[in-house]
Amino acid sequence: MNNKRPDIIKEGAVEYRLGTLKGHRMVYDFDSILVYLEAKGKLMFGDAFEIYEADRDIIFRLCNYIIKDHVNCKKLGIDIHKGILLSGPVGCGKTSLMKLLKCIVPHQRPYLVVPSRNIVFGFNHVGYKTIEDYGMTQFFCFDDLGVEPIGRHYGKDCNVMGEIMLSRYDLFIQHHIKTHATTNLNAQELEERYGSRVRSRMRELFNLIAFDSASSDKRK
């Protein structure tokens, strides 16, 4: 992948132009980004992958965030200093979009997409070191937040992702370290899962971008 020119990304023998360099300023073209995202999605997830017209508004918001378009983000009510909490029903494409989104900006610091349930399984095996490990300065996207099981280590229960959210909040406040997440839950369900203190921190950590609750399951 070509990291040196943000206007061109090379996948194999094919080059995709995402916009135009004007001096030191990159001017992105949204339709060109969509072409690249669909092509990259087919490479990552198979030929059945496609970008749906119904998702255009969501993708527009996500793209403006990731390219740090200050003007459009201000219009859209998005704070580029916060992370993204992408919510929506099962199968609407949240995880795929978050995996694809970072590919648009290979010159930026990437985030790792990690299933929340895998983090809990790690906690069950090694204990509280897992929480410490996710309190480091790496950028993460926690996938399927809120549906992971309660952690248990040596007979003691722990709301692992709730504890990690508190650690990530401290990192955000002290060092401007971003956290992203995807979830099937709404705000009330997240509060029931993690408590009001964590939910309050999540409001400061994240921009909420939500699919329509009627979005179709694309995996069917």
Both tokens assigned to 11: 């996948």
Q: How confident is the model at residue 2 (pLDDT cuts 50, 70, 90)?
A: very low
Which is it for strands 25-28 and 151-153: parallel, antiparallel or unpaired? unpaired
Separation between Cα atoms, residue 104 and residue 189, nearest integer Å:
32
Within-domain flag for 89: yes
Within-domain flag for 41: yes
Q: The domain spanning residue 94 has which CATH number? A: 3.40.50.300
Within-domain flag for 170: yes
Vertex 203: Cα angle to 186 and 215 (nearest 5): 30
Does the structure show a pLDDT above 90 at 70? yes
Q: How confident is the model at residue 98 (pLDDT cuts 50, 70, 90)?
A: very high
Within-domain flag for 119: yes
Model pLDDT, residue 25: 86
The mean per-residue pLDDT over the stretch 72-88 comes to 97
The mean per-residue pLDDT over the stretch 12-36 comes to 93
The mean per-residue pLDDT over the stretch 109-138 comes to 94
pTM of the predicted model, to two decimals?
A: 0.93
Model pLDDT, residue 4: 64
The mean per-residue pLDDT over the stretch 193-209 comes to 96
Vertex 197: Cα angle to 210 and 211 (nearest 5): 5
Within-domain flag for 219: no
The mean per-residue pLDDT over the stretch 75-101 comes to 95
Domain count, the chain: 1
Within-domain flag for 215: no
* Structural contact between residues 126 and 162, judged by C-beta atoms closer than 8 angstroms: no
Which domain range does residue 43 map to? 8-210
Q: How confident is the model at residue 1 (pLDDT cuts 50, 70, 90)?
A: very low
Mean pLDDT for the chain overall: 93
